[in-house]
Amino acid sequence: MVGSSFIRIIQAGFKSLRLHKLRSMLTMLGMIIGVWAVITLVAIGEGASHDAQEAIKALGANNVIVRSMKPMEDKVQLQGEMQWVSHYGLNNADATRILKTVPGVKRVLPILIHRKNVLHGKRNVDCRLVGTYPHYPSFTQSRIVAGNFINEMEEARQENSCVLSHDLAKKLFAGENPLMENVTVRGFESWQVFRVKGILEERTDLEKLPKSSKVMGKTLSTNVYIPLSTFKALYGVKNIDLSVGSVSSEIVHLTEIRVEFATAEEVIPALDLIKDALDKGRNGKVDYEIQVPINELNTLRAQKARDTRLLMYIACISLLVGGIGIMNIMLATVTERTREIGVRRALGATRGDITMQFLVETLMLCLIGGGIGVVGGWLFATFRHNIMHTTTIVTEWSVLLAFGLSVTVGLIFGIYPAQRAAHLDPIEALRHS
Amino acid sequence: MASRNIIELRNLAKTYDLGTVQVPALKGLDFEIKEGSYTAIMGPSGSGKSTLLNILGCLDRPTSGAYVLGEDDVAGMSDKELSHIRGTRIGFIFQSYNLIQQLDVVENIHLPLFYQGKDIKEYYDHCAKMAKKVGLGDRLEHRPMELSGGQQQRVAVARALVNEPLMLLADEPTGNLDSSTEAEILNVLDELHREGRTLVVVTHDDAVAERAERVIRLKDGLVDEDSLHTSNDIREIPQE
């Protein structure tokens, strides 16, 4: 076929499809929905996975997080008697032991967290009071937005200095400059005043992590960071929590210990050693859990590959259904246009010309349908990403896949009706009424 | 007449194989049609008229015998070769016009050229000229639905002429028209005859056959009568 005559065939196809606009639209609908679904679903999945991966990466691929966890037997005991003080969890000795005994560990970061309420002027916000060491920002790859983080001297002197997380600073100061201002942290037993030294932005909000959410509860990233020494001096390690509606009291020295390895490869082999180091100071009591971001990342990637495969199956099925619909209509069209086929044959059209004509029409239905689906899916994803602010990423491969599948479907389901049209006996076809 | 033969049939036969029975439709036809002649083929139904039309139009192949169209014996040609012959040597005019609904007048006229790979852009003027020739110069972009029966048949005539065929093959060209439009179309055919084109009209209508200079009557698959006539004295319609 010469180039220009191919263009004419496409133009002729358009004319035929335009003759029955509603029918063509309805026929395309299957294709539109199929392609739209592929692109949208992949984009949603990709977005969610991107968020989760970012969150895990923020924890650090060469990090391990050890968290204090209330042992099961304690929870059972406490159900009836709420006044029990439970004593469990990690302490500084654990941190030191991990650093000293586990090979490959570069540094550790102890963190102690209590839930408090922070006030400035008339505003007050629920927050997490985070006691930690000065190397917290470099460890967590978070960013100092203004001022400085707590320094060694403040840690050594147990000073009442604090750093606010970005979200909290915005809420509490509403545009004013918080630096060197005082905030009051209100707890169950005491009121403490801290001077704001800086503002910190966490690399990614840890709370978005699916697994850690059950440990840390639901809050925004409203953190008040203070020196760990100050924390212990002011509050001790006993935490009384009124937030659940019942009084619970517990003694926990450290909420979590973050362990950083020099390389990500050293993480997995060292996990057993970390367990050994922790179990040495305990008599069989399991009051900690180990979170391994790189494991989660791998799990997530495997899961994503699974999800993607599943989506492909769904896509194939929906496009198959769409394709069958198209074939059905094309077969009806061939019957309806039998006479036209006869006329074209009489005027010199070969079987190849007729095959080409109907194949092009089917392909056009698929491609136009696919095109509308792509645009629709992309618009939806853009809307969701920019207006609903949910990460949605349209991937190139999903567009290519959707388009490729619609072409394939068009070819597979178009060839039979086209062949049938081409092999009609011209005499019979001309006589057809 | 000194002009050459456009068509030569040599002992042309067609038998339909219906599985259990063999139905002979044409039992051996021998005749020539000369260039520039105007021939009417007549005969009652069942006489083999339609079969002959299909073979002359290269839509069907004879079972035996030869059919020379132009210089070539087309009897043994492949489907693809026949398509090419139809598109280049034959101009069809059908009873029911058979225009393509989604195409306008010029596009319909262009159709035989399209299948010869000739682009409408280059041949637009030629197609428009054909439309003017049949008196539809002001309807170039009309759809068939917007035209009367007579006008549609004019488009069909223009379409049949567009590829300069060896012969115009008309199948009951006035069958769907009222008597005044019928005369109109027959005048167009007369005009084409005067221009020197070869016309073969298959019809059962005497009024149509009267215009032709030669009438071939078929009966039971054989030529019953082959007469040249200039007057109206031949009126012998064979009995079924």
Q: Do A426 and B59 touch (CB under 8 A)?
A: yes
Write out chain A residues lying below 8 Å of B60, CB-based.
427
pLDDT at A197 > cutoff 80: yes
Which residues, including other chains, have CB under 8 Å from residue A151's CB and lie 6 or more apart?
A134
Give the model's confidence band at A45: pLDDT under 50 very low, under 70 low, under 90 confident, else very high: confident
Structure-token pair, residue B11: 């002992």
pLDDT at A12 > cutoff 50: yes
Selection from B209, B234, B216 nearest residue B48 by Cα:
B216
Write out chain A residues lying below 8 Å of B159, CB-based.
347
Residue A343 to chain B, least CA–CA distance (Å): 6
Residue B2 to chain A, least CA–CA distance (Å): 30
Among A139-148, A201-210, A253-262, B24-33, name the one with the lowest average pLDDT: A201-210
pLDDT at A395 > cutoff 60: yes
Q: What percent of chain A shows pLDDT beyond 90?
A: 25
pLDDT of residue A209: 46
Rounded to whole angstroms, how far apart are CA atoms B193 and A12? 34
Rounded to whole angstroms, how far apart are CA atoms A353 and A13? 12
Give the model's confidence band at A47: pLDDT under 50 very low, under 70 low, under 90 confident, else very high: confident
Q: Which residue has the tokens 């692109």?
A: A39
Q: What does the pLDDT look like over A134-191, one tens digit per residue?
A: 999 888 888 888 899 999 988 888 889 999 998 888 888 888 888 998 999 987 777 8
Sequence-ordered alpha helix ranges (H) in A92-180: 92-101, 136-140, 152-157, 166-173
A349 at B interface, C-beta within 8 A: yes
Higher pLDDT: A392 or B197? It is B197
Most B CBs within 10 Å: which of A15, A347, A424, A425, as the mutation test of the B interface?
A347
CB pairs under 8 A between A and B: 74
Selection from B100, B108, B96, B104 nearest residue B161 by Cα:
B108
Q: What does the pLDDT look like over B35-74, one tens digit per residue?
A: 999 999 999 888 999 999 999 999 999 999 999 998 899 9
pLDDT of residue A215: 38
Mean pLDDT of A117-133: 89
What single-letter DSSP state applies at residue A90? Answer: B
Q: Do A430 and B98 touch (CB under 8 A)?
A: yes
Most A CBs within 10 Å: which of B17, B98, B130, as the mutation test of the A interface?
B98
Write out chain B residues lying below 8 Å of A348, CB-based.
83-84, 86-88, 112, 115-116, 163
Statement: the pTM of the whole predicted model exceeds 0.95: no
Question: Helix and strand tally (H, E) in chain B?
Answer: 7, 10
3-state helix, strand, coil in chain A (%, to 5): 55, 20, 25
- Where are the domains positioned within chain B? 37-59+83-228
Backbone angles phi, psi at B221, to 5 degrees: 80, 15
Give the model's confidence band at B106: pLDDT under 50 very low, under 70 low, under 90 confident, else very high: very high
Q: What does the pLDDT look like over B150-187, one tens digit per residue?
A: 999 999 999 999 999 999 999 999 888 888 889 989 99
Average of per-residue pLDDT values in chain B? 89
Q: Are B116 and B88 in contact (CB under 8 A)?
A: yes
Residue A339 to chain B, least CA–CA distance (Å): 8
pLDDT of residue A248: 67
Q: Which of A4, A16, A348 sits opposite B86 (nearest CB)?
A: A348
Question: How would you write A281-314 as a 3-class SS string?
Answer: CCCCCCCEEEECHHHHHHHHHHHHHHHHHHHHHH
What single-letter DSSP state applies at residue A69? Answer: -
Give the model's confidence band at A75: pLDDT under 50 very low, under 70 low, under 90 confident, else very high: low
* Superfamily of chain region B37-59+83-228: P-loop containing nucleotide triphosphate hydrolases (3.40.50.300)
SS3 A274: helix
Residue A21 to chain B, least CA–CA distance (Å): 12
pLDDT of residue A242: 61
Q: Are A127 and A46 in contact (CB under 8 A)?
A: no
Give the model's confidence band at A244: pLDDT under 50 very low, under 70 low, under 90 confident, else very high: low
Mark out chain B residues that contact chain A at CB-CB < 8 A: 54, 57, 59-60, 79-80, 83-84, 86-88, 92, 94, 98, 100-103, 111-112, 114-117, 119-121, 159, 163
pLDDT of residue A235: 82
Q: Which of B84, B103, B121 sits opposite A348 (nearest CB)?
A: B84
Give the model's confidence band at B233: pLDDT under 50 very low, under 70 low, under 90 confident, else very high: very low
Pairing of strands A105-120, A143-147: unpaired
Q: Do B114 and A15 touch (CB under 8 A)?
A: no
Between the two ends of chain B, the Cα-to-Cα distance in Å is 34
A350 at B interface, C-beta within 8 A: yes
Element (H, E) at A321: helix A293-336
Give the model's confidence band at B236: pLDDT under 50 very low, under 70 low, under 90 confident, else very high: very low
Mean pLDDT of B92-104: 92
Q: Which of B94, B98, B114 sits opposite A8 (nearest CB)?
A: B114
pLDDT at A71 > cutoff 50: yes
Q: Do B120 and A8 touch (CB under 8 A)?
A: yes
Q: Do B119 and A5 touch (CB under 8 A)?
A: yes
Higher pLDDT: A280 or A330? It is A330
Give the model's confidence band at A221: pLDDT under 50 very low, under 70 low, under 90 confident, else very high: confident
